Amino acid sequence: MAVIKFLSNDALINADVQLEGHRVIVTVANPVADVNSLIASGFHELNENNNSVMSDFSDHKYLYHQEDDGCTFTLTDEPDDIWFEEVFIPEPTIEVATEATTEPIVDAVEEAAEEPAEETKTRSKRKKN
């Protein structure tokens, strides 16, 4: 655990701070209601014993992602850094045709083949008359 102090607030907060590239993952004990106003000016990681600044994260003032629990959020130093979730696309399932599913199709094809023949016979009879 580390002690952090957001520059827009004087309160000292116990938090877990993890670096992930140019992002910082911050986990606090209690949910944070309005993260955007709290992180507006970044934060400092402080020494637990004398509260001297150990790490300066004042550039990390943009919310990249917030977990549903409200206790874990990821900050970034890039305003255009955008969180996106991968869309789950299920694997397509292939249905095996059975006799029950093929019979109506065969009947429909046979009926369709008979209809033009009947229409042709009707036209031929009209021309003869």
Distance CA 118, CA 22 (A): 76
Distance CA 42, CA 62 (A): 8
Q: Give pLDDT, residue 52.
A: 92
* Per-residue model confidence as pLDDT tens digits over 56-111: 999 988 888 888 777 888 888 888 877 666 677 788 887 766 655 555 566 666 77
Residue type, 60: H
Residue 15 confidence class, pLDDT cut points 50, 70, 90:
confident
* Per-residue model confidence as pLDDT tens digits over 28-65: 887 776 777 788 888 999 998 898 999 999 998 888 88
Element (H, E) at 126: helix 99-128
